[in-house]
Homo-oligomer: A and B are copies of this chain.
Amino acid sequence: MTENLTTIVSSATKTVEINRHNPTVIIGERINPTGRKAVLAALREGNFDIVRQDAIRQVEAGAHILDVNAGVPGVDEAALMKKLINTVLEVTDVPLCIDTADLDALTAALAMYKGKALVNSVNGEERSLSNVLPLVKEYGASVIGLCMDDDGIPETPEQRLAVAAKIIERAGKLGIGPENIAIDPLALTMGADHTAGRIALDAIELIVKEFGVNITMGASNISFGMPDRKYINATFIAMAIRAGLTCPITNPMVKEVAIAIQAADLTMGRDEYGMHWIKSFRKRQQAAQA
């Protein structure tokens, strides 16, 4: 096992340290119009109330970083991204994860952002590596590296490790150290392949063993098409934390998922005297009584 690296993500006033000694860092996934019709419609109309609400509620529910995605088809993504970031900064001061495949939007976001952003994402495709990494370097950001390349998402854990290695190597050549990279080994849906969860967990372990980097993952894709998804997502996240996941992208407002993350941190010995667990329990108790 190599050393465990610390990834820094910050806003103008808050710094989050992601590593395997601290409790799991939650990246809130909700500020994203993909698959959310009401959000899509509101953003088209220039109504940002849902965005404010999603920002406030996710932070209240335990999000340490907020993912911001401005992918509304037919809309100028750079302009919308700037508006979204300003809206989120009105109501919270947690660091942000800039989630876009649009280079103009990414550049605009990084140019206006105060602090060390987390860029979501670069991948192993030649075009992505050569376009995104220089921006990450220029703005001193951290970056999520997806384990896919020009041939798509590799099938085996070993192949995903190879893509992670390629991203880390290419970043290194630009002076971006592995401490600034969180790898996403990618979780496919178990509805299509019942070994998808196992492959993702094995990939996490391999990558952590080899590089000691932080690991992120959009952990709800795994249960797509299955009933009672919240239970699958909660269990999968806990198992992935054991495997080496440190900063999942998820919805902390789903009670089952939030509790599983806290219980997993407790089990991993990252919650001294169980103080965090007991505090969360009291919060749940108060909420139930209210």
Q: B-contacting residues of A (Cβ < 8 Å)? A: 190-191, 194-199, 201, 222, 226-228, 231-232, 234-236, 238-239, 241-243, 259-260, 263-264, 266-269, 271-274, 277-278, 281, 284
Cα–Cα distance between A177 and B259 once the two chains are bound (Å): 41
Chain B residues near A196 (CB-CB < 8 A): 269
Are A271 and B194 in contact (CB-based, < 8 A)? yes
Chain B residues near A222 (CB-CB < 8 A): 267
Cα–Cα distance between A142 and B135 once the two chains are bound (Å): 61
Q: Which of B191, B228, B232, B260 contacts A267 (CB 8 A)?
A: B232
Chain B residues near A239 (CB-CB < 8 A): 238-239, 241-242, 264, 267
Are A242 and B274 in contact (CB-based, < 8 A)? no
Are B238 and A274 in contact (CB-based, < 8 A)? no
Once A228-B281, A242-B201, A259-B231 are accepted as A-B contacts, the answer to whether A236 and B190 lie under 8 Å apart by CB is no
Beyond the given A194-B269, A234-B235, could you list 9 further A-B residue pairs with CB under 8 A, ordered by the A residue number? A197-B269, A201-B242, A228-B284, A232-B263, A234-B260, A234-B263, A235-B259, A235-B260, A239-B242
Are A281 and B227 in contact (CB-based, < 8 A)? yes
Chain B residues near A227 (CB-CB < 8 A): 277-278, 281
Chain B residues near A201 (CB-CB < 8 A): 242, 267-268
Chain B residues near A243 (CB-CB < 8 A): 242
Are A197 and B235 in contact (CB-based, < 8 A)? no
Are A277 and B226 in contact (CB-based, < 8 A)? yes
Chain B residues near A199 (CB-CB < 8 A): 269
Are A190 and B267 in contact (CB-based, < 8 A)? yes
Query: Which of chain B's residues has its CB closest to A191's CB?
Result: B274
Are B238 and A197 in contact (CB-based, < 8 A)? no
Are B266 and A190 in contact (CB-based, < 8 A)? yes
Query: Which of chain B's residues has its CB closest to A236's CB?
Result: B267
Cα–Cα distance between A277 and B197 once the two chains are bound (Å): 14
Cα–Cα distance between A194 and B266 once the two chains are bound (Å): 7
Query: Which of chain B's residues has its CB closest to A200's CB?
Result: B267
Cα–Cα distance between A277 and B233 once the two chains are bound (Å): 13
Query: Which of chain B's residues has its CB closest to A278's CB?
Result: B227
| CB of A286, distance to nearest CB on chain B (Å) | 13
Are B228 and A266 in contact (CB-based, < 8 A)? no
Cα–Cα distance between A284 and B227 once the two chains are bound (Å): 11
| CB of A102, distance to nearest CB on chain B (Å) | 33
Query: Which of chain B's residues has its CB closest to A196's CB?
Result: B269
| CB of A138, distance to nearest CB on chain B (Å) | 39
Once A259-B231, A264-B235, A264-B239 are accepted as A-B contacts, the answer to whether A194 and B273 lie under 8 Å apart by CB is yes
Cα–Cα distance between A87 and B267 once the two chains are bound (Å): 38
